[in-house]
Amino acid sequence: MYGVVIYVANVFDVAEYVLSQLGETSTMKLQKLVYYCQAWSLAWDGVPLFKEDFEAWMNGPVCPELYKAHKGTFKVKSGFFGLYISDDPNFSEDNIDSMNAVINYYGIKEAGIFAAFQSNAAIGAGFISSCCQL
Counts for the chain of helices (H) and strands (E), in that order: 5, 4
Q: What is the pTM of this model?
A: 0.82
In tens, the pLDDT along 77-129 reads 999 999 999 999 999 999 999 999 999 999 987 666 665 555 555 445 544 44
User: What is the rounded distance in angstroms from the CA atom of residue 11 to the CA atom of residue 16?
Assistant: 9
